[in-house]
Amino acid sequence: MKQLVLLLVLFAALALVPAFVGSDFWMNLIIMVIYAALLGQAWNILGGYGGQFSFGHAAFFGTGAYTIAVLQVQYGINPWVGLVAGGLLAAAVAGFIGFATFRYGLKGSYFALITLAFAEVLRILSNSVPFTGAGVGLLIDLDPSAANLQFATKAGYFWLLLTITFAAFLTAWWLGNSRFGAQLMAVRDNEDAARALGVDPFRVKMSAFLMSGMFSGLAGTFYAQYFLYLDPSIAYGSAVSVESLLVPIVGGLGTLFGPLFGAVALHTLSEVTRELIGDLPGASLVLYGVLLVLVILFSPRGLAGLVTALGLRRAAARAGKKETRA
């Protein structure tokens, strides 16, 4: 319950950010941090709580992004409809991939490679079919209005993203405090033992995959509306998959606030790097790799684990002082 209260307080405080931040630069940076936290939490639902490491979450991100973009540009359908359709279609793609892998007991490196392959197949297809704009991409017309899911200021985009991200974090909290979440983590820790206790691993993993895919797809729909442009390398490129898994690994796998810690750390590092050495190609990725290695070596449970350990040390030190005084 403490985590839920902290979560509610945190997001309530974040909702007030536009009232205090007037700079477009800082608003954009905060939006990208929350966007990365959404991507990371979407992956964390499957990879952290479920133990199923996907290397191809771009498949769901890109599906959501292209759904809202194609429906708007090619068919004139309202983007609010596209937002819902993008999340649902991304979940459907996750369901298809999950059925093709979990039904036949594929896991570990096999599962990771299959998800990577699906993302690459979708990238190639989107680069070939005309309704996605092929290699040229799709440009969404600028028409700022809430009815058109476009906003005159970044505050509107911020609140839209914050709502979706809150839903993802609330889902993660539920996983950590529900019977279904206990079943999912039991499957993660020992699938055979969980099956012996009456848990259906296929059903549990499929459910987690659907939720994970849906939130990744919603992240894609937001990206499309925010930047108003898509091409196959953006939508289905490896950069999305890498960011999706890197954020929770650095922040703390299977933890509620780990993806937020990871998103703050990675984007802060990226901005500091840009200020120091400019837009040197690949510099951020090199530093991401260095940070990942350092976290794995010195804090395997991620930044969330480090924060928890520091908190326990302080609590133990305080208890020791009280005993000494007594």
pLDDT band at 309 (very low <50, low <70, confident <90, very high): confident
Structure-derived torsion over alpha carbons of residues 309, 312, 316, 317, reported in degrees to the nearest 10: 70
Tens digits of residue pLDDT in 176-219: 999 999 999 999 999 999 999 999 999 999 999 999 999 999 99
pLDDT at 86: 97
* pLDDT tens digits, one per residue of 272-305: 777 767 666 666 677 777 888 888 788 888 888 8
The pLDDT value recorded for residue 317 is 66
Q: What is the pTM of this model?
A: 0.93
* DSSP string over 159-215: HHHHHHHHHHHHHHHHHHTSHHHHHHHHHHH-HHHHHHTT--HHHHHHHHHHHHHHH
CB distance 65 to 204 below 8 Å: no
Name the average pLDDT for the chain: 90
**Average pLDDT, integer, range 24-46:** 95
Give the model confidence (pLDDT) of 211-255 as tens digits: 999 999 999 999 999 999 999 999 999 889 999 999 999 999 999
AA letter at 44: N
Which whole number is the average pLDDT over 36-50? 96
Looking at CATH, the fold of the domain delimited by 2-325 is given as ABC transporter involved in vitamin B12 uptake, BtuC (1.10.3470)
SS3 145: strand
Task: Find the length of the chain.
Answer: 326
Q: State pLDDT tens for residues 44-65.
A: 999 999 999 999 999 999 999 9
